[in-house]
Amino acid sequence: MTQLSSTFRICDLGIPQFFLGVKALYTPGVVVLSQRRYMTELLRKAGMDSCKPLATPITAATSTPSVDSSPMDDPTLYRQLVGSLMYLLVTRPDLSFAVNRLCQIMHDPKQDNWVALKRVLRYVKGTQHLALRLTGSASPVVHAFSDSDWAGRSLDRKSTAGYAVFIGPNLVS
């Protein structure tokens, strides 16, 4: 900070507590990042702040959407909510697969996709207490894992791939 302040005019506000909707809680050797306030606002925006919570974000049937489902009259709210869920992935990597599935049909969402989106929001309602825990590590070893399927989507036979990268015990990507 001293070197930076000798070159640039800066103001040190201390350790960040709340930044861009992410709350940081500090304990010795651990930082916990939470977006609980953001999740509450997202559920309110969707009109689901008093919905029944669920234990899982997606079902096996969600991965094979129905071809005879009717299109949505106005997909704007669907797109807004999926975009909001994408920002929630900053601290909730457990939602990545479900949100990715919802994003794949954002150009033309159907009614069954809306049902799948509401299921993810109900899962968020039941897991608002979850947060991302980052811990210090004496050995910052990088571990990367990947997986893919081949032509796994039944409608268009597209493949899906995913990965996880850890530095020490912390998921970073």
Tens digits of per-residue pLDDT, 87-116? Answer: 999 999 999 989 998 998 888 899 999 999
The CA distance from 21 to 33, in Å, is 10
pLDDT given at position 123 = 97
Question: Of 150 and 65, which is predicted with more confidence?
Answer: 150
The CA distance from 78 to 57, in Å, is 16
The CA distance from 23 to 37, in Å, is 9
Contact 36, 49 (CB under 8 A): no
Query: First-to-last CA distance in the chain?
Result: 28
pLDDT given at position 144 = 96
pLDDT at residue 155 greater than cutoff 80:
no
Is the dihedral angle over the CA atoms 109, 115, 120, 125 positive or is it negative?
Answer: positive
pLDDT given at position 173 = 85
pTM, two decimal places? 0.81
The CA distance from 67 to 121, in Å, is 23
The arithmetic mean of pLDDT across residues 14-39, rounded, is 93
Report pLDDT digits (tens) over 40-79: 999 999 999 999 999 999 887 655 555 677 888 889 999 9
Report pLDDT digits (tens) over 118-137: 999 999 999 999 999 999 88
